[in-house]
């Protein structure tokens, strides 16, 4: 007898849980859940299942910083180096509409707070600051029809002393940016999916996929085989394990959160160094992450974990710039995995007759994830 044999499916399991599956979604992050919810809204009788390898969604959606952002000026200027202006504005619109959809679906559990997003510039960023200020009026004009506000970006140097930063020379605020409760968002999305009759199977690690033209055959790492009519891959930073042909690289991000700090003045979302560093308040704690530019090759990984180099870099910035003269303690560290590529645009496309992908969310999946899921679902529903 082979005691290590994979369980495979029993007759009962096949007949009860996996008979005539219409849509298989791989991954239960923001994208997979939104795709499933949309499918059930469009076709309530469809048999929709999500296969998720983790006990919880375990990539980026439950592990992010919760910025509800659509782009700081320096990020938009950077996007303009890689994409034509109409595509950059279309991305901003997608992020903005995605946030509206997220608010609609998750309601109060999102705890959306339009607290403002602040971009920090130190002495060495003076060139970037001047470029951003020169582009400010033009972005305000171009974004007004999308966001519906006249002055989205403005100088906020007067906030520097209020927040208590050291070595920060300039700040530009994005008044329409805010933060959310990441856990609340995901809990609400999972509940919405369950409520609509989506079946989510956790511990289902997909190993391979085969499209025979009529069906998709999915094999799990434990040997179970599941058949469905169509399949959407929503595995973001882990996609290269299933499909190696896409321009998509995993990128680990390391994050810390402090214990509560009495009288904390910092409130809002904060970006520094082209978005490589980001921090926000969570009540009176500071959540701070990033720094993968300190060790870019090493952080091109889908393995979770934190490293001494990046921990040290983040702590130094906390001491020197963000919380100088403040006593604080670290509560915990964690990491999450992004999916990035040469271009900051998601990939939503067919791979074969019955297989599509909705991946490469970059650092703005909270904003675009819902629409990227919906667009992937629509490809399969066509
Ligand atoms: C630390 C960090 C901070 C971030 N901060 C922000 C922010 O403030 N604002 C913002 O907009 N974005 C932020 N992001 C990015 C954002 O979280 C992501 O873009 C978004 O969550 C991606 O959602 P997703 O559904 O595409 O992928 P994920 O959430 O990664 O979901 C993919 C799922 O697929 C599952 N999976 C993978 N492989 C398999 C397999 N073979 N079989 C079965 N299941 C599989 C994974 O377990 C995972 O649950 C951050 C990301 C990180 C890591």
Per-residue pLDDT tens digits for 85-95: 999 999 999 99
d(CA 69, CA 269): 9
Name the pTM for this structure: 0.96
Which residue's CA is minimally distant from atom 16 of ligand 1? 365
Query: What number is the average pLDDT over the span 221-238?
Result: 97
**Is 322 found in the same domain as 220?**
no
Query: What number is the average pLDDT over the span 138-152?
Result: 96
Which residue from 26, 36, 59 has its CB within 8 A of the most atoms of ligand 1, so it is best to mutate? 59
Single out the residue of 140, 370, 129, 137 nearest to residue 271, CA to CA: 129
CATH number at residue 199: 3.50.50.60
- pLDDT at position 6: 81
Q: Is residue 208 part of a domain?
A: yes
Q: Is residue 253 part of a domain?
A: yes
**Is 365 found in the same domain as 324?**
no
Q: Is residue 73 part of a domain?
A: no
Paired residues of 210 in beta bridges: 217
d(CA 139, CA 77): 10
Instruction: Output DSSP code: residue 363.
Output: G
- pLDDT at position 4: 59
DSSP 147-167: H--S--EEE-TTHHHHHT-SS
**Is 302 found in the same domain as 165?**
yes
Are the beta carbons of 174 and 117 closer than 8 angstroms?
Answer: yes
Gap from CA of 81 to ligand 1 centroid (Å): 26
Gap from CA of 366 to ligand 1 centroid (Å): 9
**Is 169 found in the same domain as 261?**
yes
Gap from CA of 359 to ligand 1 centroid (Å): 9
Ligand 1, pocket residues at CB < 6 Å = 26-32, 51-54, 57-61, 63-67, 69, 204-206, 234-238, 241-242, 253, 255, 289, 336-338, 361, 363-367, 369
Which residue's CA is minimally distant from atom 32 of ligand 1? 235
Q: How many CB atoms lie within 10 A of CB 308?
A: 7
Query: Which two structure tokens, joined as six digits, stand for 218?
Result: 């999915």
Residue 1 predicted with pLDDT over 90: no
**Atom nearest to 237 CA in ligand 1:** 30
The per-residue pLDDT for range 172-208, each reduced to its tens digit, is 999 999 999 999 999 999 999 999 999 999 999 999 9
**Atom nearest to 364 CA in ligand 1:** 11
Residue 2 predicted with pLDDT over 60: no
Burial grade of 34 (CB within 10 A; 0-12, 13-18, 19 or more): buried
Q: Is residue 189 part of a domain?
A: yes
Paired residues of 350 in beta bridges: 356
- pLDDT at position 53: 98
**Is 254 found in the same domain as 175?**
yes
Which residue's CA is minimally distant from atom 52 of ligand 1? 64
- pLDDT at position 54: 98
**DSSP β-ladder status, 277-282 and 178-179:** unpaired
Query: Which two structure tokens, joined as six digits, stand for 171?
Result: 């700040």
**Atom nearest to 253 CA in ligand 1:** 1
**Is 336 found in the same domain as 264?**
yes
Which residue from 366, 372, 373 has its CB within 8 A of the most atoms of ligand 1, so it is best to mutate? 366
**Is 200 found in the same domain as 150?**
no
Percent of the chain with pLDDT over 70: 99
Query: What number is the average pLDDT over the span 2-9?
Result: 73
Q: Is residue 191 part of a domain?
A: yes
**Atom nearest to 337 CA in ligand 1:** 53
Query: What number is the average pLDDT over the span 347-360?
Result: 97
d(CA 248, CA 221): 22
**Is 270 found in the same domain as 170?**
yes
Taking the mean position of all CA atoms in its chain, how far away is CA 45? 29
Paired residues of 338 in beta bridges: 251
Q: Where are the alpha helices (DSSP H) in the chain?
A: 11-17, 30-42, 73-82, 85-106, 126-147, 159-163, 182-195, 308-317, 365-381
Q: Is residue 2 part of a domain?
A: no
> Could you give the angle at the alpha carbon of 145 between the alpha carbons of 140 and 149, nearest 5°?
55
**Is 15 found in the same domain as 145?**
no
- pLDDT at position 8: 86
For 51, the domain range is 11-62+184-247+346-381
User: 335-345 as b/e, with b when 16 or more CB fall inside 10 Å?
Assistant: bbbbbbbeebb
Which residue's CA is minimally distant from atom 4 of ligand 1? 64
Number of structural domains found in the chain = 2
**Is 253 found in the same domain as 169?**
yes
d(CA 112, CA 255): 21
Are the beta carbons of 82 and 343 closer than 8 angstroms?
Answer: yes
**Atom nearest to 362 CA in ligand 1:** 19
**Is 334 found in the same domain as 257?**
yes
**Atom nearest to 95 CA in ligand 1:** 11
- pLDDT at position 3: 55
**Atom nearest to 51 CA in ligand 1:** 43
Q: What is the CA radius of gyration of the chain?
A: 22
Which residue from 206, 235, 244, 340 has its CB within 8 A of the most atoms of ligand 1, so it is best to mutate? 235
The per-residue pLDDT for range 51-62, each reduced to its tens digit, is 999 999 999 999
CATH number at residue 324: 3.30.9.10
Q: How confident is the model at residue 5 (pLDDT cuts 50, 70, 90)?
A: confident
The per-residue pLDDT for range 269-290, each reduced to its tens digit, is 999 988 899 999 999 999 999 9
Q: Is residue 281 part of a domain?
A: yes
**Is 256 found in the same domain as 243?**
no
- pLDDT at position 274: 82
d(CA 148, CA 29): 29
Q: What is the mean pLDDT of the chain?
A: 96
Taking the alpha carbons of 310, 316, 317, 323 in that order, is the dihedral positive or negative?
positive
Q: Is residue 77 part of a domain?
A: no
d(CA 65, CA 216): 35
């Amino acid at each position: 007898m082979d005691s290590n044999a994979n369980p495979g499916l029993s007759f009962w399991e096949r007949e009860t849980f996996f008979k005539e599956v219409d849509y298989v979604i791989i991954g239960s992050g923001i994208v997979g859940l939104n795709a499933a919810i949309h499918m059930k809204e469009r076709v309530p009788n469809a048999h929709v299942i999500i296969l998720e390898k983790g006990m919880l969604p375990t990539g980026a959606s439950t592990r992010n910083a919760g910025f509800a952002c659509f782009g700081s000026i320096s990020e938009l200027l950077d996007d303009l180096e890689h994409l034509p202006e109409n595509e950059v504005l279309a991305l901003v619109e997608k992020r903005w509409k995605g946030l509206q959809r997220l608010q609609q679906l998750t309601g109060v559990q999102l705890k959306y707070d339009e607290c403002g997003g602040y971009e920090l510039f130190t002495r060495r960023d003076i060139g970037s600051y001047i470029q951003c200020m020169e582009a400010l009026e033009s972005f305000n004009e171009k974004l007004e029809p999308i966001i519906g506000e006249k002055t989205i970006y403005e100088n906020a140097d007067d906030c520097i002393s209020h927040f208590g930063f050291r070595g920060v020379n300039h700040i530009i605020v994005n008044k329409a940016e805010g933060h959310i409760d990441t856990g609340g968002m995901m809990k609400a999305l999972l509940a919405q999916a369950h409520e609509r009759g989506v079946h989510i199977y956790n511990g289902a690690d997909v190993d391979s996929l085969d499209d025979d033209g009529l069906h998709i055959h999915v094999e799990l790492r434990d040997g179970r085989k599941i058949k469905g009519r169509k399949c959407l891959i929503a595995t973001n930073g882990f996609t290269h394990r299933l499909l190696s042909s896409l321009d998509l690289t995993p990128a680990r991000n390391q994050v810390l959160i402090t214990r509560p700090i009495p009288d904390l003045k910092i409130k809002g979302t904060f970006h520094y160094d082209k978005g490589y560093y980001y921090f926000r308040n969570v009540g009176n704690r500071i959540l701070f992450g990033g720094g993968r530019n300190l060790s870019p090759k090493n952080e091109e990984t889908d393995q979770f974990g934190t490293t001494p180099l990046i921990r040290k870099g983040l702590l130094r910035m906390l001491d020197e710039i963000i919380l100088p003269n403040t006593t604080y303690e670290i509560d915990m560290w964690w990491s999450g995995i992004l999916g990035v590529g040469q271009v900051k645009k998601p990939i939503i496309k067919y791979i074969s007759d019955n297989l599509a992908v909705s991946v490469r969310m970059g650092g703005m999946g909270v904003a675009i994830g819902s629409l990227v899921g919906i667009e992937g679902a629509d490809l399969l529903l066509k």
